[in-house]
Every structure is written in structure tokens, then in C-alpha cells.
Amino acid sequence: MTHHEPHPHSHPLPLDQAPHSIWRGIHQTLGKDTVGGALLLAATVLALVLANTGAAGFYNSVRDFTFGPESLHLNLSVGSWAADGLLAIFFFVVGLELKEEFVAGKLRNFSTAIVPIAAAIGGVAVPALIYVVVNLRSGSDALQGWAIPAATDIAFAVAVIAVVGRHLPPALRTFLLTLAVVDDLLAISIIAIFYTDDISFLPLGLALIPLAAFAVAVQRGVRAWWLLIPLGVITWALMHASGIHATVAGVLLGFMVPVIATTRARVKDGVDANGRQLYDGLAAHFADRWSVVSTAVAVPLFAFFSAGVTVGGLSGLLDAFHDTIALGIIAGLVLGKAIGITATTFLVTRIPGLRIDPTITWVDMIGMAFVAGIGFTVSLLVGELSFGVGSESDNHVKVGVLTGSLIAAIIGGVILSLRSRHYRTRLS
């Protein structure tokens, strides 16, 4: 699946359009996976530094500062606004790109789409099972975190592939992105079922009204921000009030946007060699516009307010590594993801008619499976829901998530870097 970048002009811009040219250059830069990964990593490192220095008090006070209307269940901390609100933008872009693949891309064929979906299920089940095995003797409290290593952080994982795998088959990124979205949705479903005390069905039902209005508007080609953004925000707020994780609203809104350009819903996209006007669907148009907001604002801010765990020096780090909660998370992310994804893919492709893209080798798949062990976004969220924000166990969860993610990224990154070098040599 490709990032949607603005199409370059076929002729030089006049001087009076130079500001537009500068903006387009910034837009293209921020749209790159490598830049997104760098911003995400920088935000994570900055949060860890602040949380473990004299600035910890300031960092915690900003993250825990609450604001918003209590009557709408939106009196949230800054950290919660980042996790529940800004992250919905990221999931909106992911929903747009995934729908494009299902409608017009490689995933439109059932035999191609079902394999990464099955792999995602294996990549959720096996890490959870490994976590449970590691924590069986630790009591029911520790077992509450069984779903922590279940999800893949899409932004980090895709960034790793963008950095080390420039010559890898494009189908591998599509497989990873599909798998990551599905297992995030599975993890969010787990949150709704196992980590939600109360689901309010009235706001959940009411959320369908603005969602339907949004769908009708975009199907008719409406692009007016003053109409679509309020409908999206209302859908998100009602989803949040229902008790279901609000990022689900982002994915649902993305799925509502049409992919195929029609006479009603289309955007001019330059001209072809014969001078005929070309059109793009609204999904590509919205993904192009919102991917920059997601990459430059939403995801880095979430990382900044979620990754700030106070380690407590070397002794604190060692304490975390003696906790089976952290060990179970590390084992689940590093081993569970790799085993679950690879083994499930192998078993499913034994079924006649089901296969992975012929450009992907099994070594590529193993490297990608390790990269999928980068758990961050939903893993940290489930940890907070399992053990409570700021508790000792929650701090150990964050150490486990960050450590497991780092190990998985290094192993997967090395494998994919070697594979990318192999493909580059073969092409030269």
C-alpha cells in the first residue's frame, strides 16, 4: 500500500506560486514513512528523557492535566486526548488506505486478503497465549494483562520497513499494513469485550446517525470541511461516550469514503499524455490531506504522552525485568508475534487456492513477522486498562512494551535489511 503524495507539476511554477511549491515540498516530506518513523522515535525518546530527569514533575503535570466538558464524558487528561482523540486521525488514514486496497488494490481478491487476516489472528492469539503461560503462577492480577502483546504498532512497523527495506517487494508492506490494522481492530474489540465495564448502547446507537450522514455526504462528493469534520467529531464523541475505544470511529469513518472516482465523488488529478482530465477517488484525496496531520501531529503527540515511563535507574529497570508481567510482554512481542504470524500464514497457505504474493519469500515473511512485534499504541493502552495508570505494574508494562518492541525491531530490521540488500543486488 502506497503513501498518497501530491502529484508533482509537469511544468515549472511561476514565482508567485513559490509559497505553494514550498508547502508542497513540506507535504511530500512529511508524507514519507521514514520521516513519520523519525518523528515517532524522537517523541518517544524525548518522553523517556523528561520522565527520568528533573523535568519529570512538569512532564507528568502536563500529561495528567484534564480539560473538556464533563457532561459529554470528555473531561479527559491531555494524555487521554492524545490516545483517544488524536489517534483516531491516524486510524482514519489507515481505514482509507486499507479500503483502497480492498476495493482497487491487491486485497480485492479474497484469496489474497484472507491470508494476512488469518496471520493477524495468529499474531494476536499466540502472544496472548505465551503471556498467559509465563504468568500462570503469578496470580489472577498478572493475568489481566494477557492482551497487552496482542497488537502491532502500525506507524513504527511501517517506518522500520521504510528505513531498512527500500528494495523489498511492495506486497510485503501491504501484507504488514493489513495485518497490523486487523490485529489492532482485534485488540480494540478485546478492549470493548474484556476491558470495558459498561457499554452504553444509547450513545453507541446514536453514533450511527452522524456516521451515516458522513457516508451519504462523501458518497455524493461533498468535501466541505465545515460539514465533514463536525460529523466525524460527533461520531467520535458518541463512540467514546459508549465506552468503546474511540479510535474505532476513525476506522469506520475511513471505510465510508468512496475509492472509485465517480461523476459525483471525484477530484481532478492532472491530465494524461493525451491531454485528457484524470480524476482521483475521495479516499486517495483524503488520505493525501490527512496523512500529514497524522504523521506530523497525531502519532508523535500520542507517543510523547504515552511513552514517558519513570524507570527509576538501573535498579528500577532490573525490578521490571524480574516481573513476569514485563517478561511475558517481551516474550509475547518478540517470540509470539514471529511464531504466530509465520506459522499461521504457513498453515493457511496449505489450503488450495490460498497463497501469499509470489514476490514475497518466507525469509521476507519471517523478518516482517518480527517487525510486527513492535507493540506500542494499543499495547500501552491495554496495560493502563489492566493495571491502572501510574501503578508499579503499569510502569513494568511500559518497560516490557518498549524493550520487547526494541528487540523485535532490531531482529526484524536486520533480517529485512539483508533481504533488501539481496533484492538491490539482484536488480543491479
Angle at alpha carbon of residue 152, lines to 150 and 154, rounded to 5° = 160
**pTM of the predicted model as reported, rounded to 2 decimal places:** 0.80
Tell me the average pLDDT across 128-153: 90
* pLDDT of 192 higher than 60: yes
Q: Is residue 328 part of a domain?
A: yes
Cα within 13 Å of Cα(211), Cβ side: 21
Percent of the chain whose pLDDT exceeds 90: 42
Residue 5 has a pLDDT of 42
Q: Is residue 58 part of a domain?
A: no
Tell me the average pLDDT across 404-427: 92
Q: Is residue 14 part of a domain?
A: no
Residue 6 has a pLDDT of 42
Residue 313 has a pLDDT of 67
* pLDDT of 102 higher than 90: no
Q: Is residue 125 part of a domain?
A: yes
pLDDT band at 391 (very low <50, low <70, confident <90, very high): confident
Question: In degrees rounded to 5, what are phi and psi of residue 273?
Answer: -65, -25
Q: Is residue 54 part of a domain?
A: no
Least confident of 6-20, 30-44, 318-332: 6-20
* More confident call, 68 vs 308: 68
Q: Is residue 419 part of a domain?
A: yes
Sign of the CA dihedral running 77, 380, 395, 86: negative
Range of the domain at 142: 69-427
Tell me the average pLDDT across 41-69: 91
CATH at 349 = 1.20.1530.10
Least confident of 25-29, 95-99, 271-275, 301-305: 25-29
Q: Is residue 242 part of a domain?
A: yes
Residue 7 has a pLDDT of 42
Tell me the average pLDDT across 188-209: 85
Mind listing the pLDDT tens digit for each residue in 325-345?
999 999 999 999 999 999 999
* pLDDT of 121 higher than 80: yes
Angstrom distance (rounded) from CA 207 to CA 99: 21
Instruction: With beta carbons less than 8 A apart as the criterion, state whether 365 and 165 touch.
Output: no
pLDDT band at 266 (very low <50, low <70, confident <90, very high): confident
Here the cell at position 410 is 532490531
* pLDDT of 258 higher than 70: yes
- The total domain count for the chain is 1
Q: Is residue 37 part of a domain?
A: no
Angstrom distance (rounded) from CA 344 to CA 373: 15
